Amino acid sequence: MRAARLFAGPVMAVILLCIPTSASFGDDTAERAHKLHFSSIVLDTHDDTTQRFFSKNFDLGKRNPDGHVDIPRMREGGLNAIFFSIWIDGRTMGPPAIQKALDQIDAVHENVRKNSKEMMFARTAADVRKAHAEGKIAALIGVEGGHMIGNDIRMVRIFSDLGVRYMTLSHFYNDEWADSSTDKPAHNGLTDYGREIVREMNRQGMMVDISHVSDKTFYDALEVSKAPLIASHSSCRAICNHPRDMSDDMIKALAAKGGVIQINYEKSFIDEAYRQASEKVSGGVVAMFDQLKKQCGDDEECFGKKMNEMEKQATAEGKLPHVTWEKIVEHIDHVVKLAGADHVGLGSDFDGATMPEGMDDCSKLPKITEALMRKGYSDDDIRKILGGNLLRVMEQAERVSHEMQAQN
């Protein structure tokens, strides 16, 4: 979300040149990839498009000249299941955080209602499959940051009833019961209350999302959770050493318990040179976020614009290196080699991050399928990465929920 969107934009598009296009190979890979992609459930676990629902200039049902996600472009990119992220700044807490989260949840439901010919709200893996069978896009909800429950465990149940299917335990700042990866540790991971919250999430069938949390919080959650965890939008530290990414050990531990890492496309999370350069330019994700927050307050449009400007300028001045979309594939491949194809998926951070060149919006997703095919991935494995793995985790979370509720 947002904060991560160090620099967005058009700049990258220019660099497409270096991408090998399938046509040049004279084989049928492109065609097979296209077929595979458009017959698969392609599920993205993290999209900040929700923020745009509050702008008068945005219409989900129409093609928009900016941003990364709308229905026409989802259709074009074969993206047929999407988690709309509920997000507010982690320093808004208590009842105001709750009300804002409720507002955003409502906005998702309203947008689905408005676009009901194209979209269907989904609460379960079965719902996602049903939407796919009916040719509709499945809309799901994830809450990005435990601060939005206002330190009240009852809100987990309430959010779940309202259709929330995962919650990221923290955002950039610690919340009352969990440490963030980008804040100074205050709780040594999860507090006792934080553990209770994880159990309640299990009970509700809400997936536990460990993107954004500190390593210790991750390991604590992994120990407590009865269902597999997800990282809804994180990449690999072995390639790009950002605290928002996961170490190989973490990825292995996550996978050992059936979890999935959903690769984030944000440039400063996938490219080490870019990360280092952007830290020099902006002081890093959180510092940059703070700076923009000061300038723009809650004005999301100002936020995006300023971010774009800053990146444009820094790139023009040669302060930031180019990052291309193949870097995403590199992260996927890294996880597959480490933990197998059952434990990786897509968590773009569209509309909340700076996209690499060639992944300008969700219409470009078929390139990932083709690249994986060219790497020799089986159709089966590709389907898992595109969405099958996440649906498996959802089903497991649902099963755990049924079991826990039956026990009561």
Partner 1 sequence: MDKELRRIAVVLAGGCLMAMSVAADSVSERAKKLTHAAIVVDTHDDTTQRLLDPKFDLGQRHADGSIDIPRMKEGGLDGIFFSIWMSGKITGPEAVKRATAQIDAVHEQVKKHPNELVLATTAEEVRAAKKHGKTAALIGVEGGHMINSDLGVLRIYASRGVRYMTLTHSVNVEWADSSTDKATHNGLTDFGKDVVREMNKLGVIVDISHVSDKTFYDALALSKAPMFASHSSCRAICDAPRNMTDQMIKDLAAKGGVIQINYHVGFLSQEFRDAEKKDPSINAGISEEVKKRCPDENDEACQLIEGDKITREYVAAGKLPKVDYTKIIEHIDHAVKLVGAEHVGLGSDFDGANMPYGMEDATMIPKITEALLQKGYSESDIREILGENTLRVMTEVERVSRELNAKK
Q: Which is nearer to partner 1, 105 or 373 (CB)?
A: 105
The region, left, alpha or beta by phi > 0 then psi within -120 to 50, assigned to residue 67 is left
Q: Looking at beta carbons only, is 97 or 400 nearer to partner 1?
A: 97
Q: Which is nearer to partner 1, 101 or 391 (CB)?
A: 101
Q: Which is nearer to partner 1, 152 or 249 (CB)?
A: 152
Smallest gap from Cβ 130 to partner 1, in A, equals 20
Q: Residue 111 CB, nearest distance to partner 1 (Å)? A: 12
Residue 150 half-sphere exposure toward CB, CA atoms < 13 A? 15
Q: From its phi and psi, is residue 49 left (phi > 0), alpha (psi between -120 and 50) or beta?
A: alpha
User: Residue 262: CA atoms inside 13 Å, Cβ hemisphere, count?
Assistant: 30
CB of 103 to partner 1, least distance (A): 4
Shortest distance, CB of residue 107 to partner 1, whole angstroms? 7
Question: How far is residue 106's CA from residue 104's CA, in Å, rounded to a whole number?
Answer: 5
Which is closer to partner 1, CB of 381 or CB of 398?
A: 398
What minimum distance in Å lies between the beta carbon of 95 and partner 1? 4
Phi-psi region of 212 (alpha: psi -120 to 50; beta: other; left: phi over 0): left
Alpha helix ranges (H) inside 248-388: 248-256, 267-270, 272-282, 285-296, 300-316, 326-339, 366-374, 379-383
Minimum CB–partner distance for residue 203 and partner 1 (Å): 12
- Write down the least CB distance from residue 101 to partner 1, Å: 10
How far is Cα 303 from Cα 295, in angstroms, rounded to an integer? 8
- CB of 175: closest distance to partner 1 in angstroms? 16
Residue 358 to residues 10, 36, 72, 328, Cα–Cα distance (Å): 10, 20, 18, 11
Two tokens, residue 106: 């409502």
- List the beta bridge partners of residue 344: 261
C-beta closer to partner 1: residue 98 or 328: 98
Which CB sits closer to partner 1, 111 or 174?
111
Of the candidates 73, 44, 142, the residue with the CA atom closest to the CA atom of residue 346 = 44
Q: Which is nearer to partner 1, 31 or 106 (CB)?
A: 106
Q: Using CB under 8 A as the criterion, which residues of the chain lie in contact with partner 1 when the complex forms?
A: 94-96, 98-99, 102-103, 105-107, 109-110, 150, 152, 154-155, 157-158, 161-162
Q: Give the start-end residues of each E strand in 197-269.
A: 207-209, 230-231, 260-263
Of the candidates 407, 237, 242, 254, the residue with the CA atom closest to the CA atom of residue 334: 237
Structure token digits, residue 145: 């940051």
